[in-house]
Amino acid sequence: MKRLLSRLGLRTLALAYLALILVGPLAVVFWRTFEDGFGPAWDALTTPETLNAFKLTLIITAIAVPVNTVFGIVCALAIVRRRFRGKGLLNAFIDLPLALSPVVVGLALFLLYGRDGWFGSWLDDRGIEVLFALPAMVIATIFVSLPFVAREVVPTLREIGDDQEQAARTLGASGWQTFWRITLPSIRWAVIYGVILTTARCLGEYGAVAVVSGRLQGETETATLRVQERYEAFDLAGAYAISIVLALIAILVLVAMTVIRPKEGTA
């Protein structure tokens, strides 16, 4: 009886905490958005600037996710399967974006690609726009969402060991065949999980992109920047509506993750 109580107590505490911190604010946003019905929310979502903001967010995500997936798998393979000088450094650097504030990342890019930055004048001479344009926003997003695939894949690679890869080699498989037929199928769940986390991070990125985008309405404004802009313009309905879409996408991603991820201990 006492154990049952303590179990129920723990459960209640955990759920109450989640409700207070996560679900409560989300529910309020939902409620405020649809306070006056669907009409105003729909109107706020379909302005050209807002549509452009969503388009931009999707484009950036569509570039950053594949890049970081490939990079993450390559890094994980290097860290787990190879021995080389500077491996510890690589391992530590992968976590850097998690530790570093995105604003600092944005500022660093600013210093690199700005007019007075290291590459700035060289790029400027050739008429290549990086800052206040898509390239800088993509680079910033790639930077902040870089660790997730590698961090998911590394422990899985360690766990499966290299026995199967060695077996494949002795059976006549080339390195490439071994990767596609043995390694990748073995780590597929970790990769999918990493991709989902990366996608979520890309969609939600704010700080770094805010610094390097210049926030030009209808041009270099992503969905998250648009929320802030609408909020500052006292268009609360607009801000809420965009937030809702972002929240829905996040929930969708989480649901996908729960459905896709195999039960603990299998695969």
Partner 1 sequence: MSILVRNVSKRFGDFVALDDVSLDAESGALTALLGPSGSGKSTLLRIIAGLETADEGAILLGGKDATAVAPQKRNVGFVFQHYAAFKHMTVRDNIAFGLKVRKRPKAEIAERVDELLNLVQLQNFGHRYPAQLSGGQRQRMGLARALAPEPQVLLLDEPFGALDARVRSELREWLRRLHDVVHVTTVFVTHDQDEAMEISDQIAVINHGRLEQAGSPRELYDNPASEFVMTFVGDAQPLGEALVRPHDIDLLTEPVDGAVEAMIVRVTLLGRDAKVELHDASGAELVVLMTRDRFDDAGYWRGQTVWALPQRERVFAETA
| Contact residues: partner 1, CB under 8 A | 160, 163-164, 166-174, 177, 181-182, 185-186, 267
Tokens of 219: 């041009």
Residue 193 CB, shortest distance to partner 1, in Å, is 17
Tokens of 222: 């992503």
Residue 199 CB, shortest distance to partner 1, in Å, is 24
Residue 162 CB, shortest distance to partner 1, in Å, is 9
**Which residue, 1 or 267, is less far from partner 1 as judged by CB?**
267
Residue 190 CB, shortest distance to partner 1, in Å, is 13
DSSP, residue by residue, 151-214: HHHHHHHHHH-SHHHHHHHHTT--HHHHIIIIIHHHHHHHHHHHHHHHHHHHHH--HHHHHHHT
**Which residue, 158 or 181, is less far from partner 1 as judged by CB?**
181
**Which residue, 37 or 88, is less far from partner 1 as judged by CB?**
88
Reduce the DSSP state of residue 85 to 3 states and report it: coil
The dihedral through the CA atoms of 17, 19, 23, 28 has a sign that is negative
The dihedral through the CA atoms of 148, 151, 154, 160 has a sign that is negative
**Which residue, 193 or 240, is less far from partner 1 as judged by CB?**
193
Phi, psi of 221 (to 5 degrees): -110, 120
Query: Rounded to a whole number, what is the distance in angstroms from the first to the last CA of the chain?
Result: 37
**Which residue, 182 or 249, is less far from partner 1 as judged by CB?**
182
Residue 77 CB, shortest distance to partner 1, in Å, is 18
